[in-house]
Structure 1
Amino acid sequence: MSASPQHDAGPPVRGPVDEDVVAARYGRGPSSATRRRRLVAAVVAVALLLAAAVALQAASLREPSVQVENLGFTVDDASRTTVRFSLLTAPGTTASCTLVALNESFTQVGFRQVTVGPVTGQRTSHEAVVTTTELATTGSVESCRVVDAG
């Protein structure tokens, strides 16, 4: 068997670049005016996105919020559990809270939706009775949300 000789071609030979040949083959690149317009358009788009983000953040800061703290519960009997909690929110705010009572298996045995407010202070304490279908072992506030702000 004869092997064909391998030749090392070496680095490619480069000569002067004929801009007209390159332009004919690949087309002309964007002019400096076009590049400038694209850059300005990109900067404007980024500025608009940043302004929108700031506006959304500012709007969310103005919306009232409510924080809840569970203070405790009392199992009154097999059909009632009293839940005590405090709300931290702006005075004049009305909140809707979901209260639950659970049994020893952590199964929900009672549920109540209560509306609190408009509150008169920033931190207010409340209690509500949750009717249960069997003896509960715990009661708490599951969630609260603002329904009206004064």
Structure 2
Amino acid sequence: MTTQAQLDDRYGRTRSPRRRIVLWSVVGVVAVALTVALGWTTVANNLASVTSTDTGFAVTDAERVTISFQITAPVGQPVACAIEAQDEEHGTVGWRVVEYPASEDHTRAFSEEIPTLALATTGFVNSCWVP
């Protein structure tokens, strides 16, 4: 009677230790490559990101609101920000895109005035980006 081990030997179905080592080596290399790629993507996205912090607003009258804010951006890159004024029902009553030239400062503070269509109750930075 023929055993399973004899059949495996006869038809080449044995698993050699070398085959297992090669398989796990390939799996390890792929895992390391994916980890490095994910890490690089995260770092590259953070290097080019722009963050803003609202520091205050002042409603001048029914036609103007002044917004104060700080931005943190990559050094040597121009920055654009969309600033917005809203009324008490959170409707947009003023909107403006402001652009700032490149600077050697990482963090900068600004104060901008937005013309409004009605009395605003708040003003803030909607978003900032590197154009």
1:139 deviates by 0.9
> Structure 1's 104 and 131: CA in aligned 2 closer, same or farther, altered over 3 A?
same
User: Which residue of the other structure, out of 110, 118, 130, is the alignment partner of 2:94?
Assistant: 110
Per-residue deviation, residues 53-98 of structure 1 (Å, max 9, x unmatched): 343344345x243332212222222222121212233443321111
Say how many residue pairs are matched: 129
Q: Counterparts of 2:13 and 2:74 in 1: how far apart (Å)?
A: 63
Q: What TM-score, normalized to structure 2?
A: 0.76
Which position in structure 2 is the counterpart of 1:55? 40
The one-letter code sitting in structure 2 at the alignment partner of 1:71 is T
The alignment partner of 1:42 has SS state of helix
Q: Counterparts of 1:96 and 1:139 in 2: how far apart (Å)?
A: 17
- 2:30 paired with 1:45: yes
> Structure 1's 58 and 105: CA in aligned 2 closer, same or farther, altered over 3 A?
closer
Structure number with bigger Rg:
1
Identify unmatched segments of 5+ residues in structure 2: none
Taking only aligned residues, the RMSD between alpha carbons, in angstroms, comes to 2.8
Q: Which aligned segments of 4 or more residues in structure 1 are displaced greater than 4 angstroms?
A: none
Identical columns (%): 28
Q: What TM-score, normalized to structure 1?
A: 0.68
Identify unmatched segments of 5+ residues in structure 1: 1-16
> Structure 1's 46 and 90: CA in aligned 2 closer, same or farther, altered over 3 A?
closer
Which position in structure 2 is the counterpart of 1:31? 16
The alignment partner of 2:130 has SS state of strand
Deviates more, 1:128-137 or 1:38-47: 38-47
- 2:105 paired with 1:94: no
